[in-house]
């Protein structure tokens, strides 16, 4: 008589085997795609030249020259090796790291193929990556602050848009600093509105967030078309200039990438650091995380669940308002309809990819910022890829990264659940 293994470890072992098979197939397909695409289907000749310095830099760096075709061969071989390595013991321990390295290698192979016989500024693209990651990182930070207290914040897109609009209008009247302060306050006001809807009145959190997004989109679009087009002086805000950090900004490559930015980049980094310290190294942060994990238990310990949710969601709105001001006061100095273009939703994806941690959300935002800057550089290089497909790059990165990690990312236990005090 056959004996069937009904122990709890049997399903886990089967699931592990299936995941390993999927990883092996995925790696080999990725290696084959790189090999076929960049060696046979789209063969290239010549070297790709990446400039590492700007004209006038204190330290001059030679260009990084990479032979395009041999590099594609090497990347394909490394990806195939990663796939074969899945057969070895302990391979699952490094699967996440190898996944990131493999994607990075595939991207560099693609970039080398696109640059073959040409040259472009790699330092400039990395600098643009940091800049374009700012609103996504702040949107992700807004999501972390909200969902750590169990409030799903779909309204990040609307908060970003409200911050952009307020920054442009108030900045045109009162200057950049006044516009920035107003954007932060308006973002906080919408955070407070969301908290009132979902905490006090227990409106469905998804519906409340979507309603705020539609409200802000409708209001800003109407005022933009009916008012700002006739009174252009209300849509001509100053742009914050870059502040070079002494000595550090003169370092080769690192200086332009990290230390030659305006207040929004430095502000985003500081806010991520403060939020990390607040959530994981203070008593207030511990209480906030307790509210997100088990509000009933937190309430029995004397923690005011409603107040903490109000505070965190309002702070999330202020962070999003600051990020929204980047679109106008940190970039173009004017407001255009729906100029956030889904960055709030990508911020939510960055939050998930970053495992509901401020630093993780920042790292994910850099990935999306890189995809955004990459599509612009490829357009400059005049690759044969249609512009419509290049514009899809940030959103494709969102799908790939979230689809790859969402199964292993665990949100706070009470996330999205309303709390009723008994």
Q: Are residues 28 and 148 in the same domain?
A: no
pLDDT at 372: 83
Q: Is residue 182 domain-shared with residue 104, that is, in the same domain?
A: no
81 lies in the same domain as 136: no
DSSP 94: G
pLDDT at res. 400:
67
Same domain, 150 and 291: yes
pLDDT, tens digit, 9 for 90 and up, residues 11-63: 555 555 666 666 667 667 777 777 776 666 566 677 888 888 887 777 778 88
Instruction: Report the helix count and the strand count for the chain, using DSSP H and E.
Output: 16, 5
Residue 421 located in a structural domain: no
The length of the chain is 422
Q: What is the mean pLDDT of residues 196-220?
A: 96
Boundary (domain end) residue, out of 117, 151, 182: 117
Q: Is residue 42 part of a domain?
A: yes
Q: Is the pLDDT of residue 209 over 70?
A: yes
In a domain, 282, yes or no: yes
- What pLDDT sits at residue 113? 81
108 plus 133 within the same structural domain: no
The structural domain count of the chain equals 2
Q: Are residues 175 and 229 in the same domain?
A: yes
Strands, E assignment, 200-303: 243-244, 260-261
Q: 10 Å Cβ neighbour count for 19?
A: 14
Q: How many CA atoms lie within 13 A of 360 on its CB side?
A: 17
The string of pLDDT tens digits covering residues 113-122 is 888 888 888 8
Residue 84 confidence (pLDDT): 74
Pick from 14-18, 148-152, 231-235: least confident = 14-18
Both tokens of residue 114?
Answer: 């696109």
Please report whether residue 167 resides in a domain. yes
Question: Which tokens in the block code for residue 110?
Answer: 């693609």
Select from 37, 39, 94 the least CA-distant residue to 71.
39
**Domain range holding 197?**
129-405
With 0.95 as the threshold, say if the pTM is over it: no
Instruction: Report yes or no on 371 lying in a domain.
Output: yes
Residue 72 banded pLDDT, cuts 50, 70, 90: confident
**Domain co-membership, 263 together with 161:** yes
Q: Is residue 270 part of a domain?
A: yes
Q: Are 125 and 257 in contact (CB under 8 A)?
A: no
Q: Is residue 234 located within the same domain as residue 335? A: yes
Same domain, 103 and 146: no
Q: Band the pLDDT of 2: cuts 50, 70, 90.
A: very low
Residue 25 inside a domain? The answer is yes
Residues 332 and 395 in one domain: yes
- pLDDT category at 3 given cuts 50, 70, 90 is very low
**Is 8 domain-assigned?**
no
Query: Rounded to an integer, what distance in angstroms lies between the CA atom of residue 170 and that of residue 172?
Result: 5
Question: Which secondary-structure segment (H or E) carries 170?
Answer: helix 156-174
Q: Which residues, 6 or more positions from 159, have their beta carbon under 8 angstroms from its beta carbon?
A: 142, 187, 190, 191, 212, 216, 316, 317, 320, 321, 324, 344
């Amino acid at each position: 008589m056959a004996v069937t293994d009904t122990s709890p470890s049997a399903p886990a072992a089967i699931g592990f085997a299936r995941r390993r098979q999927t990883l092996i197939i995925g790696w080999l397909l990725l290696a084959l795609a790189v090999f076929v695409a960049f060696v046979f289907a789209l063969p290239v000749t010549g070297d790709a030249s990446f400039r590492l310095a700007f004209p006038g830099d204190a330290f001059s760096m030679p260009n990084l020259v990479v032979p395009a075709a041999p590099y594609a061969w090497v990347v394909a071989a490394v990806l195939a090796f990663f796939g074969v390595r899945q057969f070895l013991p302990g391979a699952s321990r490094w699967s996440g790291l190898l996944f990131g390295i493999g994607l990075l290698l595939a991207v560099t192979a693609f970039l080398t193929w696109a640059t073959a016989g040409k040259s472009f500024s790699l330092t400039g693209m990395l600098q643009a990556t940091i800049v374009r990651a700012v609103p996504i990182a702040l949107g992700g930070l807004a999501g972390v602050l909200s969902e750590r207290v169990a409030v799903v914040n779909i309204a990040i897109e609307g908060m970003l848009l409200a911050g952009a609009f307020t920054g442009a209008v108030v900045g045109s009247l009162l200057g950049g600093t006044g516009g920035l302060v107003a954007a932060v306050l308006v973002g906080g006001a919408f955070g407070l509105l969301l908290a009132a809807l979902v905490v006090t009145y227990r409106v469905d959190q998804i519906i409340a967030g979507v309603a705020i997004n539609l409200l802000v989109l409708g209001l800003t679009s109407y005022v933009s078309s009916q008012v700002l087009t006739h009174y252009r002086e209300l849509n001509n805000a100053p742009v914050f200039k870059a502040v070079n950090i002494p000595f550090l900004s003169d370092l080769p490559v690192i200086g332009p990438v990290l230390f030659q930015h305006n207040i929004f980049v430095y502000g985003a980094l500081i806010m991520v650091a403060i939020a990390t310290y607040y959530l994981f190294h203070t008593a207030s942060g511990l209480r906030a995380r307790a509210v997100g994990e088990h509000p009933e238990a937190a309430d029995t310990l004397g923690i005011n669940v409603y107040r903490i949710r109000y505070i965190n969601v309002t702070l999330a709105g202020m962070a999003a308002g600051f990020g929204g001001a980047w679109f106008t006061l940190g970039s173009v100095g004017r407001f255009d309809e729906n100029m956030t273009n889904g960055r709030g939703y990508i911020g939510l994806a960055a939050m998930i990819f970053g495992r509901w941690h401020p630093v993780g959300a920042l790292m994910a935002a850099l990935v999306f910022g890189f995809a955004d800057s990459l599509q612009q550089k490829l357009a400059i290089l005049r690759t044969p890829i249609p512009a419509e497909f290049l514009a899809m790059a940030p959103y494709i990165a969102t799908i790939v990264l979230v689809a790859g990690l969402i199964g292993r990312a665990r949100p706070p236990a009470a996330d999205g659940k309303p709390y009723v005090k008994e």
